[in-house]
């Protein structure tokens, strides 16, 4: 069965995902429509409202930010349509996460995005809870600036000549403060099963040519360390170039593409 995809968002992630789907790059999936609140002149599929997308498609792919998940996630699942979430940071809202888990008959999926090793963390968690999980994310200062920051912090970030610690907290706290830059923290929390158990450190580095994520975890059965360094997307430096391809891989897995590593 071919999955008909409604793509929400036609930005840095959505354009790559939508173009690939329209070109038949994912076996078992086709682009049915695009949902975006801007007028699109070059889209390879009809631009529809969210309600129209739910009628036409059996898989909604969110590539437009945490707000879409909060506003539409439960309605998508209640309509019987499946939902693939890229902005996993929304799931640090415990009430929202519970409502999405309980909603149906549609199914909810998450993409790994810019980080790896999540499947192994989930497997290890089946043996015993991990006792120590830490994530350090390093990005260019300009991608981390937020409206809530005071002048002292902004000045330190803007004038830094080396790495500057911007914030520390749990995987529940950090994605709320950096809604476009720290979905990785939420993804690690989903894999571990407890956002309060994941300690996160956000670092701004003016010399960071790559966006870097380092995950360190340990428990009674072993110790694990994963490090990834991605080039930022030139159109949206807050995200990594690999993210749309992680979304495409996830669509392929949902559509049942043979030979996938799951």
Please tell me the distance from the alpha carbon of residue 49 to that of residue 35, in angstroms, as a whole number. Answer: 6
Spatial contact of 171 and 198, defined as CB atoms under 8 Å apart: yes
**Phi–psi pair at 211, nearest 5 degrees:** -80, 125
Spatial contact of 109 and 84, defined as CB atoms under 8 Å apart: yes
**Phi–psi pair at 220, nearest 5 degrees:** -65, -15
Spatial contact of 210 and 241, defined as CB atoms under 8 Å apart: no
Question: What CA–CA distances, in Å, run from 96 to 75, 89, 111, 233?
Answer: 12, 11, 18, 29
Residue with tokens 């354009």: 15
For helices 94-102 and 66-78, give the axis angle rounded to 10 degrees. Answer: 30
Q: Which of 219, 65, 204, 38 has its CA nearest to residue 137?
A: 204
- Catalytic residue, from 210, 213, 221, 230: name it: 213
For the question of residue 221 being annotated catalytic, the response is no
**Phi–psi pair at 11, nearest 5 degrees:** -110, -145
Catalytic positions are 213
């Amino acid at each position: 069965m071919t999955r008909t995809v409604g793509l929400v968002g036609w930005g840095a992630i959505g354009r790559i995902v939508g173009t690939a789907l329209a070109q038949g790059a994912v076996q078992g999936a086709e682009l049915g429509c695009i949902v975006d609140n801007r007028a699109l002149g070059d889209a390879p599929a009809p631009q529809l409202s969210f309600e129209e997308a739910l009628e036409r498609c059996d898989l909604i792919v969110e590539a437009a930010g945490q707000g879409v998940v909060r506003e539409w996630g439960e309605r998508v699942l209640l309509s019987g349509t499946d939902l693939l979430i890229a902005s996993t940071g929304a799931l640090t809202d415990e009430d929202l996460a519970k409502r999405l888990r309980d909603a149906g008959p549609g199914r909810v999926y998450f993409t790994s995005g810019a980080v790896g090793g999540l499947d192994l963390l989930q497997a290890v968690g089946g043996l015993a809870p991990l006792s120590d999980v830490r994530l350090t994310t390093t990005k260019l200062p300009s991608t981390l600036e937020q409206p809530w920051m005071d002048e002292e912090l902004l000045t330190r970030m803007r004038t830094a000549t080396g790495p500057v610690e911007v914030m520390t907290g749990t995987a529940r706290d950090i994605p709320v403060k950096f809604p476009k830059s720290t979905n990785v923290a939420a993804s690690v929390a989903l894999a571990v099963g407890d956002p309060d158990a994941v300690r996160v450190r956000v670092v701004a580095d003016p010399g960071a040519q790559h966006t870097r994520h380092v995950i360190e975890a340990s428990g009674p059965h072993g110790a694990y360390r994963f490090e990834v360094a991605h080039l930022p997307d030139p159109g949206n430096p807050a995200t990594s170039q690999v993210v749309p391809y992680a979304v495409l891989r996830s669509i392929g897995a949902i559509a049942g593409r043979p030979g996938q590593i799951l």
